[in-house]
Amino acid sequence: MIEIQDPLHAYSIFPGPILLLAGPGTGKTYQIEKRILFLFSEMNADPDEISVITFTTAAAMSMRTRLSNKSKEAGVDKCPSIINTMHSLGNSIIGEFPEFFGLPKDYSVLANQEFKNVLMRDAARIEGFETDICTAVKNCRTKGNCKEDESDLCNVCRAYRTILRSSGYVDYDDLIFLACRFLAERKDFATEFRKKTRFLLIDEYQDINEAQCDFIGLLSEGQEDGVFAVGDDDQSIYSFRGGDPKYIKNFESYFDQNPRIGRLSVSWRCPEHIAIGASAYSGEVGH
């Protein structure tokens, strides 16, 4: 690990991989925006080589709007071709080759949680288990650490997937699992697709799970120098979806190259004098 001495200008450092640890209001989105402008102006990157991964659809839409405005201000009439959530990116890969997964071209993503629970309970009964095993199966899938073995959990999970596929469905967990499987097994496609992720930027890195960490590794394989990630190692908003901050804390262990890591410590959203004043006021209230 190499410590970044001037984290405010981390966006202009190359090669990576680069990780910026940053709390609320410290400029995470600003760093991503500046990174993209740097790639266009200094690295002569093509929009089709840059992929930005956000954690929510709203964040992706906001990022696209902000980048469009910033690019015009900087006189750069370009925007990355891919600004998506990780699940949307996985779905785009699956959608190109649905037959590889035994899916019809008009497959659907299962969004109804109650319907998912019904199918999971059916899978448990098919395998001869009580439905209370479903909680452990769902937790395993949510954390992204499903392993293909002959355990009871895996048997129920396989039965659940069989029911999904026979109905022309995938669920949100599948969007990452299947995309990882395809990239790992179809080397020709993976090599071609990585041209779109030559420069891979990841927001809210602290909220990824194991499968998403694998996905990032597959997308950046052989071109880790283009990875630029930002996240807050003190919080994990989406832990209920399987996000685990251990992946941000162990960032350097997932890349062959020596990563550069820096920390943005100044919150522009809450300047020091405001924080001090708020602290003093809360103390008075406490008395």
Binding residues for ATP: 22-29
Look up tokens 């008395």; give the residue: 287
- Enumerate the β-bridge partners of residue 53: 84, 202
Look up tokens 């981390």; give the residue: 10
Query: Is residue 143 within 8 Å of 244, Cβ to Cβ?
Result: yes
Distances (CA, A) of 201 to 27, 31, 120, 141: 15, 10, 35, 25
Query: Is residue 116 within 8 Å of 122, Cβ to Cβ?
Result: no
Give exposure, 32-50, as e/b (b: 16+ Cβ within 10 Å): bbbbbbbbbeeeebbeebb
27: left (phi over 0), alpha (psi -120 to 50) or beta: left
Do strands 18-22 and 2-3 pair parallel, antiparallel, or not at all (unpaired)?
unpaired
Query: Is residue 31 within 8 Å of 191, Cβ to Cβ?
Result: no
Distances (CA, A) of 273 to 22, 265, 277, 283: 20, 15, 6, 15
| 252: exposed, middle or buried (Cβ count in 10 Å: 0-12, 13-18, 19+) | middle
Q: Which residues are annotated as a binding site?
A: 22-29
φ, ψ dihedrals at 137, nearest 5°: -65, -45
